Amino acid sequence: MKMNRHEIEQVLPHRDPMLLVDEVVSMEPKQRIVALKHTRNGDPCFAGHFPGAPVMPGVLIIEAMAQAGALLLFREVPDRASKLVFFAGIDGARFRAPVFPGDTLRLELEVLSWRNTRCKMAGKAYVGERLVAEAELMATLVDRDRAQKNNANTE
């Protein structure tokens, strides 16, 4: 299954500048996803990280992997408009090479375990054939109403 940016926006709640997946190249339900993030000179992260020598922050590479994983998870949720996917953990994160403006990140995630509302995936990010980052990511589904109610209680 392939998805373009418009179709991704129908599934993920993220919006610019925090939507970090531009297209889905392939998806095997409950098993694997391959998605792309096309970096651009104008991406907000490059303005301050680092002026004159722009590099994509590692945390945004991890976030892009997490969003690709969320797409895979959300595709299996029939009432996804009432849910959010929260990042629940990260293990073994390693950054192997820098990502520069104009690079295309290929995000590959494979499901390690899937139980009801929790999922663990092994993620790798590539630029071309070069591995730039990897991590194991955990995610959990939560009710959107509950998350919004908790947020209102903290204000």
Range of the domain at 130: 5-154
Confidence band for 145, pLDDT divided at 50, 70 and 90: confident
With CA atoms as reference, report the closest residue to 39 among 62, 15, 22.
22
Look up the pTM and report it. Answer: 0.92
> Residue 117: what pLDDT?
85
The single residue of 6, 14, 38, 49 carrying the catalytic annotation is 49
Q: For the chain, what is the domain count?
A: 1
Mean pLDDT value across the chain: 93
Residue-wise pLDDT for 62-109, tens only, equals 999 999 999 999 888 888 889 999 999 999 999 999 999 999 999 999
Tokens standing for 114? Answer: 């899937």
> Residue 75: what pLDDT?
86
Neighbour tally for 108: CB within 10 Å: 20
CATH number of the domain encompassing residue 99: 3.10.129.10
Which strand ranges, in their side-by-side order, compose the sheet holding 23-28? 23-28, 32-38, 104-115, 118-127, 130-143, 83-95
Whether 30 shows a pLDDT value over 80: the answer reads: yes
CB 140 within 8 A of CB 86: yes
CB 60 within 8 A of CB 48: no
Active site annotation includes 49: yes
Confidence band for 138, pLDDT divided at 50, 70 and 90: very high
Confidence band for 38, pLDDT divided at 50, 70 and 90: very high
* Selected residue with higher pLDDT from 116 and 62: 62
Least-confidence region, from 46-50, 73-77, 103-107, 126-130: 73-77
